[in-house]
Structure 1
Amino acid sequence: MRAATAAALLLVATGCGSGSGAPETAAPPAFTAPERFTHPGVLVGGAQLAAVRAHVAAGREPWKSAYKAMGGSRYASLDYTPHPAKVVACASNAGTDACVAEREDAIAAYTQALMWSVSGDRDHAAKAVEIMDAWSGTVKEHTRDDADLQTAWSGSSWARAAEIVHAGYPAWKGPEVQRFKWMLRKAYLPEVSAAVPDHNGNWELAMADAAIGMAVFLEDRRVFEDAVRRYRARVPAYFYLASDGALPKRPPGGTIDTADELATYWFGQRTYRDGVGQETCRNFMHIGYSLAATAHIAETAWHQGLDLYREQADRLAAALEFHSRYQLGETAPVWLCGGRIERTMGPDVEVALNHLQGRMHRRLPQTAKLAQSQRPGGTDDLFVAWETLTHAANPTPA
């Protein structure tokens, strides 16, 4: 079913703090979406973009190398050609060529937007607009089994690209912008709002990532609040803390609740320690997706005045340090996935590290070491792109 999830939503605002590492609370503060949205404010804020420009202009590392890597990618080429499709049909672990083209075109639009923001070259802004206009004038629907995940991955990049361009490039205006907004509402939001309670948790986190980004660009308070609700329900059910009890929290709204069902859902894991994730024993690639999406949601909320990081700081820090340690090569104990893990995490930790270490002043030595080893972080060709450039040591205030 593609119906949007409903909403008895938690309301009323909290201010954004600097973060002090306070422990999680059982009942997070209620929140109402901002009366006025801040732009640009989807994953990357205006102050962060200004900091990146200053670092690159001064030739400072790691931003200099990160910008060079981005500029040398095919996504940054002014000859980049979009390949829009009317119907994007993505079957499980497969799909049409349009599935790959859509994800890559969305990342290209975001890359071109960043190139324009850093360099000031309006040709990059025009290229971002060309790509976005091509898709908004063509795509009508997403179909097949992976439609929700496909729209999450591509939709998150579309929202980031549109937000940067619309906030500062006056040539993109009027009917073209409205058509792009209509595309997001009709061809993306229904999919990323679908109920997926018993799917692997990376799905719902990626979907909420896309939804909150679109909500900010569209200035839609209801969609924003629903994404916050999904974050608050899914993150505690995905990353374990001992305070949860003997068993992990069950997937929100799902049917999985017994010890045996949870162990199966957690890919055979029956010993639960701080930081272990629902897909740890599947592979670290999907854990990386979930760490990135969790941070993306919290970062976008931060730029809109809501500190979701603080609510899950202990959980997120534990998950980052746990998986970074093993991604860096530490031998897995027998109790963890039978001693067999797949160290396939991508460039997924910069955003969370920037907040927890840079704003909350927490020590995350394993995560910092992993981030350093991956710099300059590129793109996973799905929904993570150039986060060394945008978020390495960039703890600007909301």
Structure 2
Amino acid sequence: MHLSSFLFVSLAAVSKCSPVQTRQNTFTHPGIFVSKPQLDFVKSKLTSKAEPWTSAYKAMDSVTWAKTTWAPKPIATVRCEDPGTPEYQLEAGCKDERYDALAAYSMALRWALTGDAQFSKKAISIFDAWSGVLKGHLSTSAPEQVGLQSGWVGTTWARAAEIIRYTNAGWSASSIAAFSTMLRDIYLPQTNLSSVMLEATQGIAIFLDDSTTYSTVMARFKQHVPSYIYLEKDGAYPVIPAWSNYKTEARVKTLWQDDVSYFEGRTQESCRDLEHASYGIESISHMMETARIQGEDLYGTEMGTRLEKALEVHAPYGDGGSAPSWFCKGTLKLTLNSATEPAYNALVTRLGKSMPNTKKYTEAKRPAKPNSLFTAWETLTHAQNTA
């Protein structure tokens, strides 16, 4: 499970430590992770049966929650517990909620790319099922699981709902209002730490047309990226953001798995395991892609450089196992997953950078497989997408 070790800090606290300029202009819709031009680009590739998009779309047929036969399982209180505790046997609705959100996103993409109303109707039925039932989340063994679950599900809900709402899919105003209330009152108060929780906050803010929250979360995001991906210019140890209570080198060391072999492109979680590092990289690339759609291209800034370095240094060892001694003492746990497609497209296809390691890894993993948390169909949406 992904959780940055930084202390839980509210978004309101961020605005106290760095000036936040409230966004004045309106949002681009649909504009969470994928835009209408991007969707139109993919649709044209599917029409001409081009690769890798055709195979990526076909891959949906092998996943149960990407089919219209999927039935949502909403419950009033979702309970997510630590698998290593006795309370885990009391867990309820945790996986169902995540899969239902991923199902809704899959249906939204299918609708946008085919125009087949069976997909939009299924997505809307999933939205309505949850907004009519859900009251909240809890965890007695690991309170941080509430934030994580809200992040994983919130980012997927917002992404899916954004597509359905702004593609003339027939979603009624009353149902949109109920779903908006669910996002605002149940998810948004919990999504305020790092990575996927920041991503969820960004997406929900766009869906709700909440400029103040968007501006605040982007200020926090711009502090998060330098504290999560190391560059040699940072000095003897990684950047400490103003909002963090980890103010000493010793305290920062604990965040970085007690391994001080800081190298260009290493993430805070690389030496924990590659899977968690991939979650962090994914969320950063997702937020940068959304920001680009909304008019702020961060790929050409130092943040983009950090993302580029992280991908290039991890890609040769993405399948885990042995690594050079300087890389987390030569042993890497788990794998990087299919975490590279959106950033690779932005940095190489759009900006023309040379990223040979990432190129090899990305092309070998196509079509990128979905995970069970918040990532799905990224070869379909972002491979070589010039829109």
In the superposition, the TM-score normalised over structure 1's length comes to 0.88
Distance 1:38 1:161 in 2: 15
What amino acid does structure 1 have at the position aligned with 2:37?
Answer: A
Letter in 2 for 1:78: T
- 1:286–1:329 CA distance, 2 compared to 1 (3 A): closer
Counterpart of 1:44 (choices 24, 34, 46) is: 34
Displacement of 1:32 in angstroms is: 4.6
Distance 2:75 2:10 in 1: 23
Which residue identity is paired with 1:177? I
Which residue of structure 1 aligns with residue 48 of structure 2?
A: 58
1:395 lines up with 2:373 in the alignment? no
Cα drift, residue 3 of structure 1: 5.6
Q: How far apart in 1 are the matches of 2:66 and 2:371? A: 15
Q: What is the distance in 2 between the residues matched to 1:65 and 1:218?
A: 34
Structure 1 residue 320 corresponds to structure 2 residue 311: yes
CA contact (8 A) 1:3 1:190 kept: no
Residue 82 of structure 1 is matched in structure 2 by: 72
Contact kept, 8 Å, 1:104 with 1:381, in 2: the verdict is yes
- Match for residue 118 of structure 1 among 94, 113, 117: 113
Name 2:205's counterpart in structure 1: 215
Q: Distance in 1 between matches of 2:44 and 2:51?
A: 11
**Cα RMSD after superposing both structures:** 1.8
1:295 aligns with 2:285: yes
Q: Tell me the amino acid that sits aligned with residue 338 of structure 1.
A: K
Aligned-pair distance for 1:343? 4.1
More displaced 10-residue stretch of structure 1: 106-115 or 355-364: 355-364
Q: CA deviation at 1:373?
A: 1.1
- Extract unaligned runs of 5+ from structure 2: 1-7
Asked if 1:381 is matched to 2:380, the reply is no
Of 91, 104, 114, the match for 1:109: 104
Cα offset for 1:39? 0.8
1:309 and 1:359 mapped to 2: Cα distance? Answer: 10
Question: Which residue matches 2:336?
Answer: 345
Specify the code of the residue in structure 1 equivalent to 2:296. Answer: L
For 1:338 and 1:72, locate their aligned partners in 2 and report how far apart those are by CA, in whole Å: 38
The amino acid across from 2:105 in the alignment is: Y
1:33 aligns to 2:32 (yes or no): no
Whether contact under 8 Å (1:276, 1:319) holds in the other structure is yes
**For the residues of structure 2 that align with 1:57 and 1:252, how far apart are their CA atoms?**
49
Query: How much has 1:259 moved relative to structure 2?
Result: 2.5
Distance of aligned partners of 1:34 and 1:300 in 2 relative to their CA distance in 1, 3 Å threshold: farther
Residue 12 of structure 2 is aligned with which of 5, 27, 33? 5
Identity of aligned pairs, percent? 38
3-state SS in 2 of match to 1:268: coil
- Whole-Å Cα distance in 2 between the matches of residues 252 and 378 of structure 1? 36
Residue in 1 aligned with 2:3?
A: none
- Where does 1:362-381 land on structure 2 (aligned, <5 Å)? 362-381=353-372
In structure 2, give the amino acid aligned to 1:319.
Answer: A
**3-state SS in 1 of match to 2:93:** helix
User: Which residue does the alignment assign to 2:191?
Assistant: 192
In 2 relative to 1, CA 367–34 (structure 1 residues): closer, same or farther, beyond 3 Å? farther
**Paired residue secondary structure (1:314):** helix
Q: 1:360 maps to which residue?
A: 351
TM superposition shift of 1:288: 0.4
